[in-house]
């Protein structure tokens, strides 16, 4: 019997021609795997670049609608809405988060009207709406879990009313998925999906994002380590994931992505729910920066990063490069 020893078995045989390599590729990156996060700004027919995210622009609602149409035409199934809330609309309690006329709600409505078949997801968390830049309510110098959850429910129902398809709680409060799910059911939003950021780490890779949405200044040097996970831990991510499944999540998210492929892979083996990963701003920025220096081939590194995330076990990836990559793949 040929038990796989050389020279009967030569693994280079199947690598020797392009057609054979194509035939045996186990993982294929498609536009359909991508979710494109869009930063939204107030105003009309305007774009503003994000210095720390080369190639990423913030769009006014009317322009975001045009870009969403483009994304849909490229085969991207879903976009994420990230409002750059004006400092005048930020409050201590983040109450613009449940204002039906907020920038986020206006963007959701406009994109839903123009592209009814395109999925729209939105972050559920208070960081974009609070004067202090934390994801939760700051009471006596601490992020109050249970009061924050009450606020997140108001925010979730407000977004559901605006017509969002998927809520992405990115706040890392305990118990929020169940309470949001109960509220959605109670109000008969039975098809509103919850993409729970289950394993969200207290990462230094969120820097350019906080720049883009203007929460960096408000947060100062404050850390989010009392609610986001310690990068040292992996079992904790599994516990978070199991809780979120039990509480009614439809997909689970791991964030950041590339530095946490072990978490994705462990979860893929253990749980039977589709996984998402967020290739966060710092991951994107590092690839772009090296590419602009001419030190790496940016397109190839980007494709390799996204492919690795998929190979690790994700069915979807949020990436600022989604539009570019989809254009290339088409
Ligand atoms: C906030 C939120 C963050 C990101 C997405 N939602 C930042 C944070 O937790 O401070 C980061 C995304 C990125 O870096 O691209 N809830």
CA trace torsion 84, 90, 94, 98 (10° rounding): -60
For residue 62, report the distance from its CA to the centre of ligand 1, in Å: 24
Closest of 290, 312, 315, 316 to residue 301, by C-alpha? 290
Could you tell me if the CB of 206 is within 6 A of ligand 1? yes
Using alpha carbons only, how large is the chain's radius of gyration in Å?
20
CA angle 297, 302, 305 (to 5 degrees): 125
**Which of 123, 143, 207, 209 best tests ligand 1's pocket when mutated (most atoms within 8 Å of CB)?**
209
- The reply to whether omega before 163 is within 30° of 0 (cis) is no
Separation of alpha carbons 159 and 166, rounded Å: 9
**Catalytic one of 90, 109, 112, 200:** 200
For residue 213, report the distance from its CA to the centre of ligand 1, in Å: 9
pLDDT of residue 110: 98
Give the CATH superfamily of 32-329: Aldolase class I (3.20.20.70)
Could you tell me if the CB of 125 is within 6 A of ligand 1? yes
Separation of alpha carbons 30 and 125, rounded Å: 29
The contacts of residue 97 (CB under 8 Å, 6+ apart) are: 126, 128, 129, 151, 154, 155, 158
Q: What is the pTM of this model?
A: 0.96
Which atom, in ligand 1's list, is nearest to the CA of 228? Answer: 9
> What does the domain layout of the chain look like in residue ranges?
32-329
Could you tell me if the CB of 244 is within 6 A of ligand 1? no
200 is catalytic: yes
Could you tell me if the CB of 195 is within 6 A of ligand 1? no
pLDDT of residue 215: 81
For residue 136, report the distance from its CA to the centre of ligand 1, in Å: 13
Pairing relationship of beta strands 142-144 and 137-139 according to DSSP bridges: antiparallel
pLDDT of residue 323: 98
pLDDT of residue 1: 57
Query: What sections of 175-297 are H helices per DSSP?
Result: 176-186, 207-212, 216-219, 235-247, 261-270, 281-292
Q: What is the pLDDT along the chain (330 residues), one digit of tens a residue?
A: 557 899 999 999 999 999 999 999 999 999 999 999 999 999 999 999 999 999 999 999 999 999 999 999 999 999 999 999 999 999 999 999 999 999 999 999 999 999 999 999 999 999 999 999 999 999 999 999 999 999 999 999 999 999 999 999 999 999 999 999 999 999 999 999 999 999 999 999 999 999 999 887 788 778 999 999 999 999 999 999 999 999 999 999 999 999 999 999 999 999 999 999 999 999 999 999 999 999 999 999 999 999 999 999 999 999 999 999 999 999
Could you tell me if the CB of 123 is within 6 A of ligand 1? yes
pLDDT of residue 219: 87
Closest of 105, 115, 282, 311 to residue 201, by C-alpha? 282
Separation of alpha carbons 257 and 242, rounded Å: 19
């Amino acid at each position: 019997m040929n038990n796989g020893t050389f020279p009967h078995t030569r693994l280079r045989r199947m690598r020797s021609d392009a057609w054979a390599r194509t035939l045996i590729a186990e993982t294929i990156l498609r536009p359909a795997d991508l979710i494109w996060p869009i930063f939204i700004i107030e105003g009309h027919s305007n774009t503003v670049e994000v210095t720390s995210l080369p190639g990423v622009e913030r769009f006014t609602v009317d322009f975001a609608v045009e870009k969403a149409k483009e994304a849909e035409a490229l085969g991207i199934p879903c976009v994420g809405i990230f409002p750059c809330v004006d400092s005048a609309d930020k409050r201590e309690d983040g109450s613009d988060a449940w204002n039906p006329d907020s920038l986020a709600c206006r963007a959701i409505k406009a994109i839903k009207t123009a592209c009814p078949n395109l999925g729209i997801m939105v972050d559920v968390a208070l960081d974009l709406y609070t004067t202090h830049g934390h994801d939760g309510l700051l009471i006596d110098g601490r992020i109050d879990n249970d009061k924050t959850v009450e606020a997140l429910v108001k925010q979730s129902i407000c977004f559901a009313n605006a017509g969002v398809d998927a809520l992405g709680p990115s706040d890392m409060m305990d118990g929020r998925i169940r309470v949001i799910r109960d509220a959605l059911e109670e109000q008969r939003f039975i098809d509103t999906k919850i993409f729970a950021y289950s394993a969200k780490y207290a990462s230094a890779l969120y820097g350019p994002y906080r720049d883009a949405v203007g929460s960096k200044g408000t947060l100062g040097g404050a850390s989010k380590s009392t609610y986001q996970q310690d990068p040292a831990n992996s079992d904790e991510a599994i516990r978070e994931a199991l809780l979120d499944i039990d509480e009614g999540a439809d997909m689970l998210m791991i964030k950041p992505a590339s530095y946490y492929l072990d978490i994705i892979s462990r979860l893929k083996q253990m749980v039977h729910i589709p996984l998402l990963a967020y290739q966060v701003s710092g991951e994107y920025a590092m690839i772009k920066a090296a590419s602009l220096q001419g030190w790496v081939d940016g397109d190839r590194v980007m494709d390799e990063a996204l492919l690795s995330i998929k190979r690790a076990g994700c069915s979807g990836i949020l990436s600022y490069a989604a539009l570019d990559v989809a254009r290339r793949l088409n």
